[in-house]
Amino acid sequence: MAPPSQPERSVPVEDADPTEKMSFFDHLEELRRRILYSLAAVGLGLCVGLYFSTDAFEFLARPMLQALAEAKLGDKLIYTSPLGPIRLLLSVGLYLGIVIASPFVLHQIWLFVAPGLYRHERRAAVSFLLSAIFLFLAGTAFGYVIALPIMLKFLISFQGPFTPMISINDYFDLVLVILLGLGLLFQLPILIFFLSLFGIVTPRFLWENFRYAVLIIAIAAAVVTPTTDVLTMVVFMAPMIVLYVIGIGVSFLVVRKKEEAAGRRREPSTVAAVVTVIVIGVGLAAVVWAGNHFGWWSVLR
């Protein structure tokens, strides 16, 4: 007598798409709901941002006031239009509200996108999002702490038969361009990651064309820098070169992962070691320079 056949157990498929049963109109309804929630969060963030807009602008104005004080000039900013302060506070409140609401908005985007992703795609998306946020914050911090004071000190040094009277609106536009521009420039490793992922560039290609990359970075820094002095351009170039070197390391990891997935053997390479040594050396040099420039070591002593 044949033994009774055991019922086959269904094995959950990891790569099953949980949204395949949703219709097109269901997706539209879900998108509409997430957009409404995001707009409500931005509106609430705007109310909070308007409340703290004065304090936020005082924080942004500190590098300018410090540069004016060091040049022994008036430590006050002016406005040239009756609507200038109102327009400034509205702009600062709006941007501050977007920053405050951004975690909730990103969560709503994730709730809309995540159900249609596989498990490994979700992990990759989370890593990409966290890396992009970290690099953007690092770029804005670098702009506020290092690039902006040096640039403003150079701009204020131009003295002649005139006295600088800095408008609050013009200054806010300048700060916004610098901080957002550096935040976007710091996304260079992520750009290299995607170029390497699609096979457009390789770590060997990036390393062999390093001198051309430095030339392109110098041209980009000369275009982005609103001043004409070499020091400010070098300040803009230094993080971009470091990010390019970090991008070589990222490209190396991506290519190695693709080769391991393809089952191919690869010979040991010295690219990773060279990249690591350069990144550590440049990082230590930047810390030493910043400590001497801003007096961190005297404070520690």
Q: How confident is the model at residue 290 (pLDDT cuts 50, 70, 90)?
A: low
> Where would I find the H helices in 157-229?
168-185, 188-197, 203-208, 210-224
d(CA 123, CA 299): 42
CB 191 within 8 A of CB 245: no
Single-letter amino acid, residue 270: T
- pLDDT tens digits, one per residue of 137-166: 888 998 898 888 888 888 787 766 777 788
What DSSP string runs through 4-33? PPPPPPPPPPTT--TTTTS-HHHHHHHHHH
Residue 84, pLDDT above cutoff 80 = yes
Mean pLDDT across the stretch 222-244? 77
Using the CB atoms, write b or e for 150-171: b if 16+ within 10 Å: bbbbbbbeeeeeeeeebebbeb
* Whole-number average pLDDT of the chain: 78
Between CA 233 and CA 225 the distance in angstroms is 6
Report the range of poorest mean pLDDT among 11-25, 28-42, 76-90, 198-212.
11-25
Which helix (DSSP H) or strand (DSSP E) does residue 280 occupy?
Answer: helix 271-294
Q: Could you tell me if 100 and 190 are in contact, meaning their C-beta atoms sit under 8 angstroms apart?
A: no
Would you give the DSSP letter of residue 92? Answer: H
What does the pLDDT look like over 180-216, one tens digit per residue?
888 888 888 888 888 887 888 888 888 888 888 888 8
CA distances from 268 to 137, 170, 219, 222, 265 (A): 35, 54, 35, 38, 10
pLDDT at 90: 92
Residues with Cβ within 8 Å of 229's Cβ and at least 6 positions away in sequence, in order, are 154
**Number of neighbouring beta carbons within 10 Å of residue 277:** 11
DSSP at 78: B
Sorting pLDDT into bands at 50, 70 and 90, what band is 281? Answer: low
pLDDT band at 12 (very low <50, low <70, confident <90, very high): very low
Q: What is the pLDDT of residue 48?
A: 93
Give the contacts of 49 (CB within 8 A, at least 6 positions apart). 56, 92, 93, 94, 95, 96, 97, 98, 99, 100
Is 5 or 37 the better-scoring residue by pLDDT?
Answer: 37
Between CA 75 and CA 258 the distance in angstroms is 57
* pTM of the entire predicted model: 0.73
Answer yes or no: is pLDDT of 69 > 80. Answer: yes
Sign of CA dihedral 151, 152, 157, 160: positive
- Residue 169 near residue 85 (C-beta atoms within 8 A): no
